[in-house]
Amino acid sequence: MDLGLQDTVALVVDSHLGIATAAAASLASEGAILSLTAPDNYHMRHVELELARSNIPQDRFRAVIADLNRTRDIHRLVRETLHRQNNIGVLVNTVQELEPSSAVDLEEETIEPALARNFFSAVQLTHEVVPHMKRLGMGRIINLIPYSAIEVSSGGTLSSLSLAPLLAYFKGLAFELASENITVNNIIYFGVESDEPENNHSSLNGHGGNGDNPAPDPEQNEKHRNGLEDDSPMHRMAEPHEIGDVVAMVASSRASYLTGANIILDGGRHRQYYA
């Protein structure tokens, strides 16, 4: 099936995170040209190696070092992408799990950085990209959001309060942009395989997302992983490429009538029939 992505410019942010790297690889495999971000050269080198393993030619992607917590870096990212590749047809926002914390002990100085990191950075980058999609006459905005956005876990309140508002924002944005041929969809994922330190603490709290802390104990991590697999109807975790391939499908011309959706990729764990 031709997904109609040949030479479409796709901006994939925080592409050093395993799930975003997989999304980038899937998009590039369908012919997209990539603009990628990472916070530093070390992480970007990791992305380049992973794409090379996926047989993605180096001339099909460009790297921009950017901290998406900084407004000036967001402006520079969009500006450099447009300078190099002229337009942006696909935006993949990647937001993250945060360090586990107690809801009782949450304070303003903890909440504000969490909102800045997940909510405001994604909103600001999207706001920056939308005018260029309007000029292009089409666009696909796809948000990779951990399961904490729809379910609070033990110690996961901070993640949930920084992620859940994104669902409201992007639902409203989808409604407003539908007539512009710009679609907005969320992929809400659970239980994704990763060997990276960024992912391990999140898999411990049950979401297999992209946190920042290393696993506190390999034995505990394995025990928790087994628990996640037992709780899944498929009795396994997802490979990153299984999420990435859905990103490519949602980004494609074949998904032109799909917007405002929360696509839950959790191996059937979600049991509510109305969402």
Degrees to nearest 5, angle at CA 21 with 250 and 59: 95
163's CB contacts (< 8 A; 6+ apart) are: 95, 118, 119, 145, 146, 148, 149
Beta-strand relationship, 9-12 and 139-146: unpaired
Containing structural domain, residue 148: 9-265
| CATH number for 121 | 3.40.50.720
**Quick check: is 1 in a domain?**
no
Tell me, what's the pLDDT at 216? 54
Degrees to nearest 5, angle at CA 25 with 270 and 262: 25
Tell me, what's the pLDDT at 24? 96
**Quick check: is 272 in a domain?**
no
Q: Position of tokens 């969809």? A: 185
Tell me, what's the pLDDT at 247? 98
Bridge partners, 36 (sequence order): 12, 63
Q: Position of tokens 């802390």? A: 213
**Quick check: is 182 in a domain?**
yes
**Quick check: is 254 in a domain?**
yes
Looking at the structure of the chain, the number of domains it has is 1
Asked if 187 contacts 144 with a C-beta cutoff of 8 angstroms, the reply is yes
pTM: 0.88
**Quick check: is 3 in a domain?**
no
Each of the 275 residues of the chain gets a pLDDT tens digit; together they read 789 999 999 999 999 999 999 999 999 999 999 999 999 999 999 999 999 999 999 999 999 999 999 999 999 999 999 999 999 999 999 998 888 888 888 888 889 989 999 999 999 999 999 999 999 999 999 999 999 999 988 888 999 999 999 999 999 999 999 999 999 999 999 988 775 433 433 433 334 444 444 445 677 667 767 777 777 888 788 899 999 999 999 999 999 999 999 999 988 888 777 65
**Quick check: is 274 in a domain?**
no
**Quick check: is 4 in a domain?**
no
